[in-house]
Chain A
């Protein structure tokens, strides 16, 4: 049912204008700014991109973003999936899920502040204010400054904050998908003698694959853009820098529009690539 003429164009016009103004224009402008100097006056060619790829700080930021993009989706998706399937079997499912979902209701900045307290360090001579170190000391250990232990401990500690926030979201999506799975297939599998474990691996997981794919991609994109958590906790010190935080610094602290735009472009390209992978992976079967 193809309608020719300008009527369909008329329908998409408002949306197109909005997209043009809020998506296309800023993107093109960012690209343009990324080729200008720090005050957006003189063109500098690819100098800003050279900085993005060659400077020590941004290299560390790229490394950390990659770490985030691997560890964060793996943890959120696997924990979310397991919790969704387990929650289905408990009596107080709603209450259980509500508790897991709760961190989602807290702003990222709030979560960052909360976890800064959890990880807080005080010398052993004075009483601990951080939950984690209080536990460590109670068990007879030495308090640790978790956020200064580069590069593994502190980055994983920070990623865990993200996991704490987002696992509930993943769980909720998986739970909805899980409940939508056709009961007949499950039943048939059970009749054929499949145990709980087999059921999960052979039936549930393959059926949930499209959902898992989308959620994983979404989480990876979030990991790429992580900012608030880093900004509030370490501000990129101790080798925990990420690209979005560096972009913020270049723009608002160092007043270098060119570099900030170059980093923004890099983030945009990376996000588009990830989303592109998803598009190709899933042939559209609309109907």
Chain B
């Protein structure tokens, strides 16, 4: 018995030390990477901006990125022609861990490229002088001809370009069932008010109008932030949206509050949302469109990005795009701002200036590579020279058209904010609001966190 007690005490004594170990443990992981990396040759001296010598055969490129699984396979297929043509080997490693990239960059041992899922990370690295300015060697006339200013702007800091987008997606769309709309005599709404009227009509006809599925495990909340971002974009316009992202006016600003209230007008109304607020908070986002396309349907409208199409096709393989499945753009609220699109995507950023790396990012930016990105990822490209025929699915084609025709394109705001807000206080705020907390309290909490987070 004594031994057992002694053992228990020992266990109890040793375990708190694990807690103490944890933060300190990060430092050691960063330390080894400070050693010169064995696989990548030391950075070559910067080449003069004119005529870079051809990359040597047998050179290697290391890319880190957020993708695994199917997306990783797609990326490798996009890279394959480049490897074959140039005789350069590209090594890709997928990691969700952004801090790994940051710490490697700080330790002076970055990979050649990183596929950055968050513009905020690109900006931070560029401001720290960790990245190669692409305009120092790329043919900017060509780049500007192929990419819209909004997209280049997201990859730029202080008028230097640091990143070129790969696959992108449009977020400001509402999924519906055209057959069901026709049968019930509903029309695709052209304004926000028409959408509210339609919502009310559907509710009166005895169906819950909306499915809002916010469940996303440890990321629950982002679906709600997307709603608010879309509303902000349509009520205050792109310029003020940028200011909001940069926290140039507070969360307690009446315009922000109004956007939340407009979201709440739908999201907090038990008769408007399938499963009420409880269903909204707990149904996984991947199942969000199920309520719209199930038989019988439990909802008629679902606002979610174009990637939802993957889930719909998987869950309902028999539905025909354009006939059973379709989407419309979240309609304008203030006519002067028209129909702006919220988008998201990943961009390639370059840490080391070598001939091989220059070749690779030129390839990545080319219409040829962007075409392959569209084909293999099944998403959109921000390169306007990618021909429409590449989009072999009517809905992908439509998404691409909406994105190019949009009055303005703005990136997902929460991805641009400091992570303590964009992946923290904002998510939590939306969840608290839907769960019944008072809006002023919620906004005050997000504002407090922001004052703190933007300081750093």
A150 interfacial by beta-carbon distance below 8 Å: yes
In the assembled complex, the Cα of A23 lies from the Cα of B5 at a distance in Å of 22
Pairwise interchain contact A275-B13, C-beta atoms closer than 8 A = yes
User: Restricting to A207-260, which residues have a CB under 8 Å from any CB of B?
Assistant: 210-211, 214-215, 217-218, 221-222, 225, 231, 234-235, 237-238, 244, 247, 249, 251-257, 260
Are B17 and A121 closer than 8 Å at their CB atoms?
Answer: no
Chain A 18-57 against B: per-residue CB contact (8 Å), 1 yes, 0 no?
Answer: 0000110111011001000110100000000001000111
A253-B419, A254-B420, A255-B102 are contacts. A231–B218 as well, Cβ < 8 Å?
Answer: yes
Counting chain A CB atoms within 10 Å of each CB, the highest count among B9, B218, B453 belongs to: B218
> In the complex, A256 Cα to B452 Cα: how many Å?
12
Q: Can you name the residue of chain B whose Cβ is closest to the Cβ of A234?
A: B220
Given known contacts A148-B282, A237-B220, A264-B22, A218 and B12 CB-to-CB distance under 8 angstroms:
yes
| B: contact size bracket | 35 or more
Whether A26 contacts B9 in the complex (CB less than 8 A), given A145-B278, A231-B218, comes out as no
Docked complex: B130-182 residues within 8 A CB-CB of A? none
Taken together as a complex, chains A and B put the C-alpha atoms of A22 and B14 apart, in Å, by: 10
Q: CB < 8 Å: which of A23, A125, A249 contacts B424?
A: A249
| CB <8 Å contact, A22 and B17 | yes
Contacts of B18 in A (CB 8 A): 225
CA distance A222 to B14 in the complex (A): 12
Considering only CB atoms, which chain B residue lies closest to A181 in the complex?
B1
Known: A56-B445, A221-B16, A237-B428. A255 touches B99 (CB 8 A): yes
| A interface, over-half SS | helix
Binary A-proximity of B408-448 (CB < 8 A = 1, otherwise 0)? 00000000001110011001100110010000000001001
Among candidates A25, A51, A123, A272, residue contacting B279 with C-beta atoms closer than 8 Å: A123
Instruction: Report the separation of the CA atoms of residues A215 and B4 in the bound assembly, to the nearest whole angstrom.
Output: 11
Which of A23, A217, A255 touches B12 (beta carbons < 8 Å)? A217
Check B59 for interface membership: any CB of A closer than 8 A: no
Bitwise, A260-278 to B at CB < 8 A (1) or not (0) is 1100110110011001001
Task: Give Cα A238–Cα B5 distance, bound, in whole angstroms.
Answer: 38
> Inside 8 A of B221's CB, which chain A residues have their CB?
237
Judge if A144 is at the interface, Cβ distance under 8 Å.
Answer: yes
Distance, CA A150 to CA B456, complexed state (A): 32
A103-134 interface bits toward B, Cβ cutoff 8 Å, 1 = contact, 0 = none: 00000000000000000111101100000000
Given A214-B8, A215-B8, A237-B220; A145-B16 close (CB under 8 Å):
no
Q: Is B406 an interface residue (CB 8 A)?
A: no
Q: Within 8 Å of chain B (Cβ to Cβ): is A180?
A: yes
Which residues of chain A have C-beta atoms less than 8 A from B424's C-beta?
Answer: 249, 253-254
Binding stretch for chain A, among B24-32, B81-89, B303-311 = B24-32
Q: A203 on the interface (CB 8 Å rule)?
A: no
Residues in A with CB closer than 8 Å to B1 are 176-177, 180, 211
CB distance from A37 to the nearest CB of B (A): 8
With A and B bound together, what is the CA distance between A38 and B453 in angstroms?
A: 10
Q: Which residue of B lies closest to A267 (CB)?
A: B19
Interchain CA distance A244-B21 in the complex, whole Å: 13
Closest to B435 in A: A148
Q: Most B CB atoms within 10 A — which of A26, A57, A120, A173? A: A26
A147 within 8 A of B: yes
Among candidates B4, B278, B427, residue contacting A121 with C-beta atoms closer than 8 Å: B278
Across the interface, do A268 and B448 meet the contact criterion of CB distance under 8 Å? no
Given contacts A26-B17, A122-B283, A254-B420, whether A218 and B456 have CB atoms under 8 Å apart is no
Which 7 A-B pairs have CB atoms at the shortest separation, nearest pair first? A123-B275, A271-B16, A145-B278, A235-B218, A26-B24, A254-B420, A29-B24
Interface positions of B (Cβ within 8 A of A): 1, 4-5, 8-9, 11-13, 15-27, 97, 99, 102, 217-221, 274-276, 278-279, 281-283, 291, 294, 298, 418-420, 423-424, 427-428, 431-432, 435, 445, 448-449, 452-453, 456
A-B contact pairs, 23 of them (CB 8 A): A22-B17, A25-B24, A26-B25, A29-B27, A51-B452, A123-B275, A123-B298, A125-B298, A126-B294, A145-B279, A173-B4, A214-B9, A221-B15, A225-B18, A247-B19, A251-B22, A251-B26, A260-B22, A260-B23, A268-B17, A271-B16, A271-B19, A275-B16
A interface residues with partner B (beta carbon < 8 Å)? 22-23, 25-27, 29-30, 33, 37-38, 40, 51, 55-57, 120-123, 125-126, 143-145, 147-148, 150, 173, 176-177, 180, 210-211, 214-215, 217-218, 221-222, 225, 231, 234-235, 237-238, 244, 247, 249, 251-257, 260-261, 264-265, 267-268, 271-272, 275, 278
